[in-house]
Amino acid sequence: MIRELQLRILPEQAASEQSIAAYVAREQSIDIRSIKSVRVLKRSIDARQRTVMVNLKVRVYIDEFPQDDEFPRIEYGDVSSKPRAIVVGAGPAGLFAALRLIELGICPVVVERGKNVHDRRKDIALISREQRVDPESNYSFGEGGAGAFSDGKLYTRSKKRGSVERILQIFCQHGASVSILSDAHPHIGTDKLPRVIERMRNRIIESGGEVHFETRMERLIIDGDEVCGIVTADGREFTGPVILATGHSARDVYYMLHENGVELESKGIAVGVRLEHPQQLIDSIQYHNPEGRGKYLPAAEYSFVTQVKGRGVYSFCMCPGGFVVPAASGPEQIVVNGMSPSNRGSVWANSGMVVELQPEDFGARFSMFGVLAGIKFQEDLERQCYLNGNCKQTAPAQRMTDFVNRRNSFDLPRSSYSPGLIASPLHFWLPDFIAARLQEGFKYFGKVSHGFLTREAVMIGVETRTSSPVRIPRDRESMTHIRLRGFYPCGEGAGYAGGIVSAAIDGERCAEALAMQIKQSSSFDCSV
């Protein structure tokens, strides 16, 4: 017999399959020996009241064992002799696009400017050790994209067409923990995600696809109003329709497209800082307990949002039990991001704290750059941060209360940011339309969450890479560029996603549209 039950229980009762089974047996008057398995279908924590509870949806197997898999598996066939399509970028949009192409009988050729996920680690380590950023291999560029080493959170608010559940199941098929299927805020972790990415790449190759690392796209091959392939920096040509999934840090791609007359649109972005607290403090606030989270609760998260002077101020990419990492992708830049390992076991909690900006907010100073004004604004702010960081990867920082009160910090708390911090008056050199809104936002967050506004928290500059400042316009139905056939702008870099899951969904949608077009037409067999 199989029963599905909704449970609301204490954290210690939800700590393991055995403790859940014991609770069910007691409450349902069932002999615990008859419960052969308990499968958690949904899990969330309710910390709104002083007593923290765990909400579960469980499937209980009584006098029988599960006969089904926890998720359906996809069969990937051999596509080595099938029509080819080019996927530029091996982040989540590119990888999921490639896997979906294989499902649909198309051979993907993945071209990635950076290194494989294993070799990336060495270059990322050098950022902290030698204060040096490799412009082709860093936290943003390389196999897995920015998400590979900056957290691996899998929840999304995206309303795009596509199945979040399917994306999570594909991750599980390639080695992610099945817990992501049930958790309200699924998270693989930066320590485990690289192995999952490697298995995805191996799957592509085993099915007859190609993956080329350290191969940067130089330009598109355009014949009239049709994209027929790409040319790489080493002079090679790859022909076929193109899914462009390069991520929003690949600014050279925007410049190349603009120079070649490809239509682009400016869009709003969010810019701010990384805010880091002691994790124990966040635990005590969120769980209403001065002792923190105790033995059975995970590192606490938070989410804040308010409006200040007509613009949103909000937390972004919150990383409990995590680290602040250097995310620059070129020289004379300081950019920060956050990550958490799978156990979320560090003593710090960090989050982006950002201000919503529209093109008119920064357009006056950068209007001469037209549609690229947002990129120029980001570059300028990242360089200012670099100059205020002693022209190294040491990041300028300020205590939270000092920033709000517009005074200098003469010392800084301990931080997870490994290249090191340098005290700096962020309130002085950040643009006022950002600084003033952050100050008011922090005051409000401190009122609604007592203890959040504290001198024990440190602000680290700057967080600029929340989304793309440019959108590559495409047709809503065909997913192709509004003018160029055979060209599929995709994911975060094209302005259609904001995280791993939404990028993966967009990658699949582009792959489906491309496969349908290939099956309907032979026009992509153009040669140049």
Query: What is the DSSP secondary-structure string of 51-66?
Result: S-EEEEEEEEEESS--
The predicted model gives 214-220 an average pLDDT of 97
Do 293 and 349 contact (CB within 8 A), yes or no? no
Residue 128 pLDDT: 87
The predicted model gives 316-324 an average pLDDT of 94
The predicted model gives 494-517 an average pLDDT of 95
Closest residue by Cα to residue 399 from 417, 420, 381, 426? 426
Q: Show the CA angle centred on residue 447, arms to residues 446 and 451, nearest 5°.
A: 45
Long-range Cβ contact pairs of 71-75 (< 8 A, separation 24 or more): 71/169, 71/172, 71/173, 71/178, 71/181, 72/169, 73/173, 74/99, 74/103, 74/170, 74/173
Beta bridge partners of 489: 244
383-416 confidence digits (pLDDT tens): 999 999 999 999 999 999 999 999 999 999 999 9
3-state helix, strand, coil in the chain (%, to 5): 30, 25, 45
The predicted model gives 445-466 an average pLDDT of 97
- Please say if the pLDDT value at position 55 is more than 50: yes
- Please say if the pLDDT value at position 485 is more than 50: yes
Domains along the chain with CATH numbers? 2-62 (3.30.70), 84-263+482-525 (3.50.50.60), 268-463 (no CATH)
- When mean pLDDT is compared across 184-198, 307-321, 440-454, 488-502, the lowest value belongs to 184-198
pLDDT band at 526 (very low <50, low <70, confident <90, very high): very low
Distance CA 188, CA 200 (A): 15
The predicted model gives 173-189 an average pLDDT of 92
- Please say if the pLDDT value at position 289 is more than 70: yes
- Please say if the pLDDT value at position 7 is more than 80: yes
Tokens at 512, concatenated: 């489906």
The phi, psi pair for 237, rounded to 5°, reads -115, 135
- Please say if the pLDDT value at position 528 is more than 60: no
pLDDT band at 472 (very low <50, low <70, confident <90, very high): very high
pTM for this model (two decimals): 0.94
Do 335 and 463 contact (CB within 8 A), yes or no? yes
Do 97 and 74 contact (CB within 8 A), yes or no? no
Do 196 and 188 contact (CB within 8 A), yes or no? yes
- Please say if the pLDDT value at position 365 is more than 60: yes
Do 38 and 24 contact (CB within 8 A), yes or no? yes
- Please say if the pLDDT value at position 150 is more than 80: no
Tokens at 386, concatenated: 């670099």
> Tell me, what amino acid is at 496?
Y
Do 434 and 355 contact (CB within 8 A), yes or no? yes
